[in-house]
Amino acid sequence: MNADWQTLIATAVHLRNADDATDSVLIERLGPDVPYNRVLSTHQAWKNKYARCAQRDLIEVPYRIRRNPLPGGGYDIEAVRDLTSLIEGTMIEWPGEEPDDG
């Protein structure tokens, strides 16, 4: 298994064990001298690697990979837990008024 896949698997473990569901994990830092098209390419490459890991059931906790601009220039490529299914499940179970039948 290559180092990038090991990084992505370790990221899932870290996010699973995090005290806060909104925790993030730094995957790669790109300096201000990196051209933006290279930033986009690197971001997409990490997303593609993640997708291949997830297809093989190597990712225990689903997460998203995003690029975060840094104040002094450059970008962080980081992972954040994907809370979509948790939020959708909560919204479905949210107590509310019964629909009016007429």
Domain coordinates in residue numbering, the chain: 3-90
CA distance 67 to 3: 20
The 10 Å Cβ neighbour count of residue 75 is: 22
Q: Model's pTM, two decimal places?
A: 0.77
pLDDT in tens, 44-98: 999 999 999 999 999 888 899 999 999 999 999 999 987 666 555 555 666 665 5
Closest alpha carbon to 16 in 68, 58, 77, 51: 58
